[in-house]
Structures are given as structure tokens and as C-alpha cells.
Structure 1
Amino acid sequence: MTSLQSRHIDNVYSIATGGALLADPAASLVHKSWARCVRDHGLDPSRPTPARILPAQEVRAHQQQLEHFLRAARAGMEDIYRRVADLGYMVLLTDAEGITVDYIGNPAWDDQLRRAGLYLGADWNEAHAGTCGVGTCLVERQPLTCHQTEHFDATHIALTCTTAPLFDHGGKLTAILDVSALRSPEARESQHLVRHLVSIYARMIEDADFLRHFRGHWILRLGSAFGLVDVAGEVMLAFDDSGTLAGANGGARQVFAGQPLLHGGSVSELLHLPMDAIWRLGNSAASAMPFAHTVLLPGGGEYHASLIAPRVRRVATPTQTTPRPSDRLPPLARIAGDDDPAMQKLLAQARRLVDRGIHVLIEGETGSGKEVLARALHGASRRAALPFVAVNCAAIPDSLIESELFGYTPGSFTGGRAKGMKGLIAQADRGTLFLDEIGDMPMALQTRLLRVLSEGEVLPLGAESPQRVDLAVVAATHRDLWSLVAAGRFREDLYYRLCGAVLQLPPLRARGDRRYLIEAMFHEEAAATESTARLSEAAMQRLMAHDWPGNLRELRNVLRLALALCTGTSITPEDLRLAPHRSAPDHRDATPASADSDDSADTVRLLDALQRHRWHVARAAQELGISRATAYRRMQRFGIVAPQRG
């Protein structure tokens, strides 16, 4: 250990255990993080830890959660890297858990970057890595720089990391954009320009994802600079042909803070303009009189306007406010081909469930298309123009799932947003709430969810009175919920609330319409990459013969890679990268008796690993090949308590 590292450890320990926070906001933010690391995460500054890199299989699972968002993010990462590469910087992207899902760096520095944790699969969550650009940005939810000795861990004090949070089209924290360097000037001011650049690109990535998601809607762009409004509109509003708001980008959420941007609101009412005037804004970019196409927003800001027409065909026409049932069915119909009677029967059932007020439970293996079916049900309903909010109950850490689902009021707990946060359930009001992997929801939250479903009310953390919500609920699981009920791991009353109707999705290997699915997905991927390649019959036969343990998700990845590798005009079997044949994975829970047996073995393995690693949960989880959140969840389920807490 160097003398610099030794002094750093003393400084961190002194401030984290009672030293006064400095007046400088940036320093105060870092010192608050140091205190959290010691007090809340149990980290010891005198015991530096090497970078934690997740196994490739776990990294792929994290990447799949951001599948659509990664496309826009990658384009932004490549552009910013071209601007900073010569200065010694690299670029990485993490998900909302702090796991690195994409990165770009100089290949000559691969070994150094991996040792420093600036690499694919690195875990930069503050609970494991201490104060750092990514982990602290996840907590503070604002752009920041963690420069050299501002890092908690002494092994990171040579690094400088500048980060910005990325929010999806619904305002949910989705990823962190990070620009880091192994070496940099000592002065913190040297990173000011980089921080400005990262903030700009974060907004560009968010807006690109917004435009992709709402490509079937009218989008009104509002910008302060007349000549740049078409390419740099700070405020964007998405709405349908009737003027009903469907989405707002980050700039709009800031400008219209406190105003109803969704839930059936009207763009005309929001802007205090008649719809005829809004339609005329479409010609603003070509106007010789920019003052004729300006909009006054709250606070007196004057913005120039540009209107973007839908880029894909929509079902509804400008005179239709509610699509006819016959117009709303095609999205469901496209899920399956005519060659699979079982799927056609399932879709016929799904059509009858639309707008009937019945909660739906979708069962099926991982990757079999449960969320696709849920979105199709939403798109075929009267709620189609309103929010579809997807919640992966297995992906949100236990420490965050309650606040993420139910939201919280200002001042509810340390580290929360000053203005509080609207929970995902409330965000889905009047729309559809999709609860993926519902079998992994902690028991304590199952009780609160039951109240939402039975009473139509949600109570945010810290609130005194509940608020009404109107929800269509679709849940999904790859597990046998009834076995979980029998084993005491899932509430029976919640089970009956959720399974008003059960739709069982078959795995890809069992579907008779595999050729239809392969062709449809291939055309989607080819169109997305503007590829003119075709799928040869030999390649099709190989795809048809594959057992597809990863189901539709695996198929999409295989086709995407084949299009990237193809050098000719035709995809051949040599372009396909298929996993070796193996017996189909059993994703279903066993019977209660065998579940108890599995629990016993899992308990022993987890307890063993925790004792070997002196109750360091992250290291035990890494050894077992599971996420930290899963380890904590199993500790709670098995009643395992660390000795110092006993």
C-alpha cells in the first residue's frame, strides 16, 4: 500500500465516522456517500477490494433487460468516444443496478481497464464498490464527477469518472452513462468539460429512445433556438391523432413539473392552444416568420415549435378517439402463425379477455414472449394510448422494490428525492401494469400489492392517505405459483386475485409456427439494420431444428448476430452461432416436497459461502453465481442472519 493510499484511508475513515461535511456541494455529496458506505453498506476503507466482474451469463441477463434501450445508448457511446478517446478516456454504460452492460475502450488497455473495473460486467453499485461515479450517481440521480481521491476504495484513487443518469420514456432511471480515465490531471476542474459533454450525450440518448418508443405518435418538439428546433428540441411531447398525450421527455417533465402530462390529458389543454393551431406548427421549420410559430410555456419561456408526423402506420384515424374492436386485434394476431392450433386457441382466449376487467396471469419459460403478449393485450385494449408500465419483480433489489413500486413522499427517508417519487403502480394509473416474474416478489410486498388489487388504492411511503388507481393488471411467471403457495412462499389470496385468467405460452421448441416466427423476426431485425440479406433455406432448416433453450429471446440474438456477421447477400448456416443441443431446461418449480429438499441444499450452500467469506454477502453471491439481491432474498427466506446482527 502506498503512502497516498494510506493517507486516503485515514481521511475517508475520519470523515465517514463523524467528520463535518464541507460547504462545497460536490465535496458534501462525496462525503455523504463515504458515510453511507461505512454506515449502511458496512464497507471498510482499510480493506480495499478488487473490481468485481460478473460471469458472462449474468451479464447477458442484465443486457437483455435493456435490450431496446441499448441500441440508442450504443450510438451515443460511440459518438462520445470518438471525441474523448485521444484524451485517454473510455466510455461505459451500466444498468440501474450498477452492472456494466456495454463499454468502449482502447483494446491496447484491456488488461488495465479490466483490473480497474472499467470493463464489461463490472459491478459499480455503491454497496459493493463504495463511492464512485456510477454508484453515487445511482443514489443522487444527477450528473457528477468522482475524481481520484473522492473514490471510497483506495484501489480506485487513480481514476476519474464522470457520470450522468439516463431515464427512459416514462421517467424511470434506466442506466448510467460513464466516461472514465485511468489517469488524469490532479485538478478536479480538468473534468468540467467532460461533465458537460456527458450531460449533453445523456440527454441525446434519452431523446433518441423517446423518439424510438413513440415513433407511432405525433411528436411536438419545442426549442429555444429557432434554427435548431428540428435537431435540438429541449421539450418533446408525444400525442395521438386525437391530441391525447402519450409521453413526455425529460425536458418536458422539468418544464411542466406538477402538471398532468399523461393519463388521458390533452396537448391542447396543456399548451393552452386549439388543436388547429398545433397542427399548423408542423410547418414551423420552413416558416420565414418564426414568431408566428412560438409557444409560451410555464415561467414565461418562449419556445419555437416543430411537429413530427408518426413514422409508422397507426390504427386510429384523426376522427377516431376510440379504436373499434376489429381495429385493435391485429397486434395480437401477429404474435403467432396459422400453423399452430394451440397458439391460435390462446389468442382467441386473449381476444375475449380484452377490456373485460379481468386480471391475466401469463405462464411460460423465460424468453417465451410473456411481455410481448402482455403488450399486445394492452395495445388491443381501450387503454392503448395510456401507460404500459413493466415491472420485473426479480430485477429490482429488495432495498428499492417497495419505493419503486409504491413511491414515496418528500422526506420519507435519507437519500430519497427532495420532491418524493411517484411509484410505478401510480404511473400505470388508467393504463396497464405488467408484473413480470411475480413469483419472486418478497412476501412483505405481496400483502401491499393485494390491497392495491382488492381496493384499487396505493399508499406511497410516508403518505397519510391512499390514492385511487385504475389498473389493468397482467402478471407473468416462469415458475409454478401454486407450488409456491403450497410451500408458503406466495400468498394464496394474491394468487387468486392475479389468475382471473391464465394464458400458458408454449416454449419455442414446442410451437408449430416456428417458421413464421423466424421469418417475422428476421424481417424485423433486417429492417432495423437496413440489411438486404435474405435467409437461405439451409439456414432456415438449421434454425428449425434447434432446440431453443432461450426461446424467442435467444432466436432474436442469433438472428441479430447473423446479420452482423453476414458478408454476402444471404445468411448461411455458417453465419449462425447456435448453442449446442441440450435437453430443455426445466424452469418450473418442483413439487412442494422437492422444493423443501432444494431449499435445504440451497440453505447449506449459502450458509457455507457466507461463513467462508466472513458474511460478506457480495463475495458469497459471486462464488455461488447469483446476484447480491438474490442472495439477500434467500437469506430472508431461509432465516439466515449475520452474527453481528443476531
Structure 2
Amino acid sequence: MVDNTMRAAQAAVVESLRRQFSASGQVPDAGLPVPVLRSWARCQRLGLDMGERVRPPSTTRGDLMVARERSAALLAHASGVMEHLHEQIRSSGSMVLLADASGMILHGIGDPAFVDRANRVALQAGANWSECERGTNAIGATLIERAPVEVLGAEHYLDCNGVLTCSAAPIFDWRGELLGALDISGDHRSHQPHTLGLARMGVRLVERRLFESEHARHALLSFHPRPEGVGGLQEGLLAIDADGEIVAADRQARALLGVEERRVAGLGNFSNLFRGGFGTLIGRAARDPAALVELELRSGARIHARLRLSPAWQAGAQSAPAGTARVAAAPDPSRSARHRTTLETLSTGDPALQFVLDRCARIVGRSIPILIQGESGSGKELLARACHNSGPRADGPFVAVNCAAIPENLIESELFGYVGGAFTGARKEGAIGRIQQAHGGTLFLDEIGDMPLAMQARLLRVLQERCVQPVGAGSAVPVDIALLCATHRQLGEQVKAGRFREDLYYRVNGLGVQLPPLRARSDLQGIVRRLLDGSSHHPEPARVDVAPETMAILAAYPWPGNIRQLQNVLEVALALLDEGETRILPVHLPEEVLQAVGDAPALAPSAGAERGEPRSARPADDPDPLPLPLPLRRARALDDDAIRAAIERFDGNLSAAARHLGVARNTLYRRMGRPF
């Protein structure tokens, strides 16, 4: 968090540069982020006047409607992401904006008070924020730079825009064509260092949704070098047709594979890139849609992947030539199990977790269902997969069903399947339900506490009779499954309230285990290490470490979102590292974590906390307590004093101050709350 003195020092440096530029007409060669300097030079060549007043939008309502229609797909897929981003920054005096490739703002959502202020500088739908229209600004600069850009306060070329702080990132389609920009703007006095990271994440979500929509009729292969990365924002996506041809690769996939833009056509057939046939992979996906498989590239590198087959793809694949996508090969016994998550690999030294793992290990392989309870994000599905991989059914399918994510009118056909013509809109060949897909393996019913009562009765019958009857079928089909269930609800209370059948409760609750929340675990350091090693933001071959004061902050935070939230926080921290930085400091953490810990009661870690040993309360007679927030306050005080002294010593020359302090100039910018 930057104090008023630091903000004043930063503002003074920029104002001094503006005066020098205005007097000499020479663009500074240092003191501002490089994209801002380049933008100032472009604005000067355009003949823009720094003192120019606010221009009202020159477009009509009809122009805006035409622009929105032209970018209909972008607008449709970005709107939901914008809502999500706004929820993260609500009440911070900010707004989220979407612009097309020309710089016209298509849509905006934000806090009402700031929206009113933004309208005064024409930061609104229908206004064009290209550089030639509005001077240096994040939207205009990111469209030219084709890279994320942040512009703070007086760094805007026009004086009238100095009230803003803007963070924008460009949006591309899978061909590398620029579609527009996503921007987060706010009051220049309330700049947050993680805002550009949020904009980048938002762009990744938009690009992924666009890719999935455009290639809905193709099989989608999501992959990452580490198993933890599959399903996250940094996974790569390949679109593959029914003949096994790779027809598209998204930006992240190209980066992971080292493929240049517009060179996707050179990837050719699946077998040109990977060892093994596409038909074998299709067979695995058909038996276990949620399976995570290990694939070997022709280069010898290994990746972890999951194949998604949409109904549209499956319908098209029926006519594929024999020997390609229609082939459903037997399980590949040569598949390496080295990276499978097992009960043993989950053991990280936490006593409460170890108690759960030991109990599960005694049950796995027996005909006893396991009910996993725990808070959202605490790792229930990971434990379920570990149970599956640790038992005799490890080579069989693992079929995961989120009962809370399936619409109530579809859950019956999703679970039990249906025969052709069973209802209007059904595929003529019918479909196998998820329970049947789990035959010979494990069925994992996540959030079973949210299953409708009518479906509970049908599920109970399946578990009793070990047969499933598809919708519209006249006879039942035998199934052999192991059952794992999970819920964040207390099912006993749900039974008392009449929302969960008592007979089903006793059927699924053979062994009930309670996963500890992250705040109660003593193995935080080990979890952080595992998540960092599994992140694609992790620079190779350098190893990113966490500073002791940062680990103290993480240990003090209550983690309401558990491991899922911790993973997101670490992804943000990695994204905020400068090139060459290999240590996560407190300044790299999101503001919500810093603020929560800063307001928390003083806590003292045990002597072994840094080694990952169980945390304990500080004894009352501890003569030298070390409150967790103290390292953060001490680091900030030292940094602020050193930075102020260096800036004063070198008369505002930030490059010289950075050299004197022994840090990169970008690091100094961030310490002052500036863009990186």
C-alpha cells in the first residue's frame, strides 16, 4: 500500500517531466514506462495539444449499434467476464470497459459515482479512445502496442484525462487478429498494483470463450506441462476435427508449444505432434470424460491433457472415416502413472489431512462409498481422484458429475442417459449417461447435497439394484461402479430439513470424512510450493521463492476460498513479477490479502512455521513476539524511506535512484504504485 508521501513523490516526478516536455518539445528518454514514452512521441507527431479540452463523442447512437453488431461475438462473450471483474473491484470507484479494435468503447460497467465522473471526460460507450482521438491512454496504447499497458494520472497526454488511472490488455482471436481491448479504469488516487493483472486474466477468459464458441463442433484438447495447470487459465487449447486434424490453437497453446502466430496449419494431424493415435485418446475420453491423460510430444516432452467432446462433435464424428476419430481403443497400459495424484502424493504432513488420508486408504477397494465433506475450494475432487487412483479401479474410468452445475431439467438424462427419440431434441442414436460411463471405474458425485429430491430417489434405486435405466428405455443395464460423493453442505442437517433423503444419506455415507479448510492446515508452505511449481507463470529454469515476510502474510490470511483462492493469489503474484525477479514479496500480493492481514490481530508463528510445521498460538509469556503483520510494516517502512531518500538524492531521476538502490527500474515503479 503506497502512502500519501510516495504518491506525492510520484506525481511530482511526472509533473516535472510534463513541464520539461512542454517547454522543450523533447519527449523524455526516461522517467516514464516505455509504452507511455512511445505514446507521448506519437501524440506529439499527431500535433495533439496537452491542454486540449474534453471532446464529446463524435459518434451517433446508430454508429454505436453498428459497431456492436460488428463485434457481436466479442461483446457476447466479454459481457459475463466484465460482470465477474466488476464484482472483484466493486465499490473501489472503478469501471470495466470493452473497446473494439478501432478504440470505440462498446460497453462499460462500473460504480455509479465513478461512471458519472468518467462521463465528464467522455469515458463512455460510443466514445472513441484511440490515441489520435484521446492522446495517451491505456485503451489506445494497448491497441497500438498489442500488449498490456497501464497509464496512471498525469501520464495521460491530455491534461483533462489526468484524473484517470487505466489498465488495459489487448484481445486477440486464435488467428492472432486484434479484436479489441479490455480496460479497467478508476480514479488516479485509488490506483491498485494488481489491476493490470486482473485485466490480463479477464482477457484470457474472453479469448478462451471465443475459442470454445468458434470451435464448438471440434474436439477440444486442453493441456499444460503440469497436471495442476489443466483446467486453469494458463492451459492451452487445441481444436481437432473428426479426422484428427489440428485446425486451431489458441494463444496460450502456441506459447506452450513454441508455435508462431499464423503457423497453426503446420501442426497438421494429431499424430504429427503427438506420439500415439487420436483414436486412442478418443476412446479414453469416451470412457472417462474427466480423465487427465499424459501425452508425449514428438519432441519427447510430456504434457497433461483432457479431451472434451461436445454433442456437436460427436454427431459429426459418426461419419468420420474408419480408423480415425471413431476408433475407441482399449486402455493404453503403457500410460505412465508417475504423475497421478494418489493418497500418498497428497500427504504433506498436516495431521488433520493425514487422518483423512489414512481412513480413505483403508476403505479404497472395498464396496464402501465415501462421502467427502468440506468447504468450497478445499480439494474435495482432488481427494476423490486420489482415492480412485489408489485403488484397484485406477485403470478404469473416473467420471465426475457436478450435481449443482447441471440444470434440473437435464440432470436425469445426464446421469441416466436416454434412448433415441426419448424426447424432443434428443439425438436419434441416444446417449450414454454418466453412470454408465463409469462402469468398471468410479462415479464421483460432487455437490450431491444440491441434487433434486426426484433424482435422489432414482439414484437410490441405482445404488440398491446396481442397474441403470436410460430415459425412454424398456430395460435396465447392469453397472459396476465405486461411489464417491462430496458436498460443502452438512448432509445431516439437510436430512433434518427435508432437503435430502435419509435413506440415500445412509447409502452414500459409508465412510464420512471432513477435509480441513486451508486456514486450519499446518502445511501451507508445502501447498504454496506445489502450486508455484504447477503454474505456467513460473519462469523456467529459475525457481520462484516466497519471501519469509510474504509467507507470514499468507499464513495469517483466513482463506475463505481455500486452496482455490490461494492458487489465484499466487497466479496474480507471479504475473506481477518483473523480468528477472524470482522472489514473491508482499507488494506482489493482491490488496485484499494485504488489507485483511494488516487489520488482523497480531499473531505469532511457531518457531517451525517457516518450515511448514503446525502453527500454534503464541504463549502468553513469550518475551519477544513477532506479530505477523510486522514484517510487512517493517519492509514497507524501509522501502519507503530508502526510495524517498534516493529520489531526493538524484533529483527525481528514477533510473539513477533504481541503480543506487540496486533494483530494476520497473521494481522501483511498482514500489511507488506505478505500472510495470
Under a length normalisation based on structure 2, what TM-score does the superposition of the two structures give? Answer: 0.45
Under a length normalisation based on structure 1, what TM-score does the superposition of the two structures give? Answer: 0.47
Structure scoring higher RCO (CA < 8 A, sep ≥ 6) equals 2
Which entry has the higher C-alpha Rg, 1 or 2? 2
